[in-house]
Structures are given as C-alpha cells and as structure tokens.
Structure 1
Amino acid sequence: MKAEERSNWVRHAAGTENRFEACFTGHAYEPHRHDTYTIALTLQGVQSFDYRGNACHSTPGNALILHPDELHDGRAGTDAAFRYRAIGIDPCLIQNILGGAALPFVDGAISSDPGILGAAHALLGDLEHPLERLEHQDALYHLAVSLSRVAGEKRGRRIGNCAAATRARDYIDACLDQDVSLEMLEHVSGFDRWQLSRDFRSLYGTSPHRYLVMRRLDRARGLILAGAPLSDAALACHFSDQSHFTRHFRKAYGVTPMRWVHLVRSSSAQTFYRGRSAAS
C-alpha cells in the first residue's frame, strides 16, 4: 500500500450512531455542508479548516462544533497528518432535549469547554463497541445542555409548531423516491407552507429540500458500499443521473463518491457503513 493510502482513511465505528475516525495528510475535504451537528475531537496533528469566514486550527485536546448547514472544508495544518474522531448528531435530538427552543449556535468552531469536551469524550471515547442506548442518550443530554449554556443569549426564538415540522419530516422520510413540494408538506402537516419552512429550519438546522437530498445520499452511500455501481445508486435514490448525484455528494461531503469509497476501504480495520443515527 502506498504511503498516501496508509495516512488517508476513514474508519466507521461499531453501532448505529454515525461515529467515525479519520486520518489525512494535506488537503482532505472541499467546502461542503452537513445537515447535522458535527462534534469532533482532534487526536493528532493540526486539524485546519475554514468556517464562517475564519481559518480555524484545532490541536489535540480541543473539541470542534460545526453547526448544521454551515460551509466548511478540511486540511492538515502542517506537513504531518492529522487524525480526529467525529459524530454527526441529528439536530432535532438537541432541540427535543432543550424543550422547544431553537438550535443553540456556538460562535467559533473550537472549544475547550469542560461540558462539551466531557460529552464529546463520552460519545467518541470508544469506537470499538456500540454505545448503549442510555449511554448515548445521557451523553446527548449533557451535550445539549452544554451547547445551550455556551451559546447563551444567541440560542434563538422558540419554534412555533414542532408537531407540524415533525409530520413534514416524517413524510419526507417516507417519500425519498418521490417528488416533494411545499404544497405537499403543507397538506400533510396541516400548517402554512412558509411558516412550516421557517420552523423546519429552526428545528432541523436545514431546509426541507436539503434534508430530502441528504437522506437520499445516506441511502446511496449504503448502496455503493454494498457494491452497486454509481449510476445504479444514483437512479435508485432519485437523482437524475450520475453527474447529478456526484454534484450533490461533493457538496454534502467535500469529496467525490469514488474518493469517499476509497477512504473507507483504505482503513485496515473498517466496519461497514450503517448510515445515519436512529433517533434516540
């Protein structure tokens, strides 16, 4: 195996939570956005990235908090490799814990706050074994409370109709292979489409369309790792063709589908990809 392949890999953890460890030299990711909170711990080297107009540099001992739908990239801050662990967290889990408040927004992206670090270590300390359900829920609670405390007055307004936004999301989850419109979401949720769109963003950290695309990409990643050709995975997940799929994939993850597959399969201790975390 080439030296570059040995130092560039992604290893997914045991369990259903979207947890992973990765190692990179040089350039890692193009600018992209997630529809989850990304909570990470830098383990080795300098983890550098651009976020909200600032160049950020994290070293071992720091936690990273990337808010849903915020553009960022990734690279090594020195000639040496950087290694980190991360988890993607459905924003509605954080919002549900906070009891109806909109998502907390933490300025910057690097934190040494003891509460955030403690929750991150609880979620990411052991990737060899699945988290017990109560263990996962307890760590999420401490994370949500810590994020809210650090965000302070910038937590935002309360959401007008959580139930309607939840019905809209459930409908999208059930209709990934169909065309979806705000008119349809208004009908199934029983709530004004434009207010619903605003509440959906506050509850889930992203727009209804972005949420739909990300769920289709989740499904496509599972198909690709199971051996499906890119063109077949694209069509099966309601993308018009392979180039349309690749364009959305790169916007979401910062790498092409083939680059992502290579990174996952370069891991010497790979566990299979299980997709997005189930709601707890």
Structure 2
Amino acid sequence: MGKAARKKNKAPKVRDVFVAQPFEGLAAEPELIALREFIPSATARLSLVDSSDRVVTLGTVLPMAAAALVRADGEVFLGLQVQTRSSDISRDLGRALRWALEAEEGDVLSVPDTTSAPGERERLQDLLEPGAELDVTLHSDFSWWLPDDTEPTGDVQLSLERANEAIMPTERLGPGSYWVLAGEKAHLRWVRPEPENKLLQALARLSAAGELGLGEGSRYAGSFRAHGLLVPVWDLDPEAHVREWVEPAKQLGVRLDAALASLDEEPLNAAERRARDGLIGRQLTLR
C-alpha cells in the first residue's frame, strides 16, 4: 500500500479537550460530584428532557462497575463511578444513558464510549432537565442492584459482597453536604457550587472571625477540588451521633451564605487575606 493510500485510510484524529467542570449548568452539579467522588451507595431518579416514560435511576456504583444496565423489569440504571473515562465525564454519562434508553431488558454496558468523536446532544446537559435537583436516597448496602425478592448469584453475588464490605457509613446533612464515617474519623464533606476564589474568600472571612467551625469537637481540615468545584472538609468527633451535626451544619451554611453576600460590598481586610492564604495552603487528597 502506498503512502497516499495509508494516509487516506488512517482514522481521523479526535481532539479530546479536557472539561474541568463537566456538570456545569446543572442544578444537581454538587450532588453529582458527591455521588461520583465519595458517596458509597446511593440512588436518585433522573428527570429527562424528553417525555420518555422509561424509569431511569442514577446509581453510585453498578454491579461489576458497569456504566449502565437495563434490569429484567425494564428499569434503566446509569452508573457514576466507573473505571474508564474520557476528558468529558458528562459526555461519557450521556452516551451511556442514550445506550441504555435503546437497550433491551438484561443488557449491560460494561464501559462507556470514550473514543468516538464528539457528537451533538450527547452530554448530560442535553439529556437532563437543567433545573432539576436530585432527590438522593442513601443506602446501607447495595441490595438495590436487584429487583425485590431476587437472590444474587455468580459474579453479581461476588461483586455485591465486595461492594458491601467497602461501604462507609454516610448521611446527608443538606444539599451537597455529607457526613462520612471513615474508619476512626468522621468528616463533613461539602460540595459548594460557588466559584473557588469567591468561596475561599468567604471561608477566610469566617476563619478570621473565628466562625469557621461547627462547634466543639470540630475543626476545619482543608479542601479538595472535584470536577471544577471546591469541597471544604471538616473533621468531626466520631463519637458524636450524626444528628448532633445537622443544626451546626445548617448554621454554618447561613454564616457562609452571609459571608458570600458581603464580599460584593466589602473586600477582604488584611487579617482575612492572611486567613485566605492559610486556607489555600490546606489542600487535601481524598482517600
């Protein structure tokens, strides 16, 4: 084969542009990030743009870490935590969702399509109602993988057992805000929708005023970035019941909202700028 023929037969190179904030524009952005990054077992019903009568459930992890599946009862499941990804997670999920809506009962998509050239209307933003919130249901195990009264067998049973063993107790305190018991430590992880710089300024304002904690038994630990948003983290007393943190977290949210609003009228003073510099240096690695 000549050089010209080889050049003609060569597949066109797909320009894969990294999308740092894949869920931008969706009201459910903080919840999607939490479910993908650190919530072990949870589900939420999705609101689709079209009038499809198919029941579509978003799950943190599906059997064998599948990208999507259609159960024998016809319910569609879309998995968030998968092993393979492209530069645009929203596109991966959108493609898996479109596959599932056309699949037959019992079909499983092991991995999403991460290699095809980008097309039209295949991101989550194209397929979901942009203003719809997620009504998240947390689970203590992964029994929701199977229809009621169904006993797992074979690889599904093994996958179910392994997944159940890895679950960390988790409770939702508010939008994007989750209490997690990780071994001997408890944390509040709060996915915030604000731009990082503005959020850091508000956190610095609270820190300088001594109002960044949730009360006795808590301390601000730092923050990590996830899919374009900042996630502040607080260490909490693991001996305290999760109910004891609901009201303190709510009040912290009120203070944080007030600090955010005040930034438009009053820039950071010297003490608050020093606090911000300290917060910037406290970046965490989620494990």
Superposition TM-score, scaled by structure 2 size: 0.30
Higher relative contact order (CA 8 A, sep 6+): 1
**TM-score, normalising length from structure 1?**
0.31
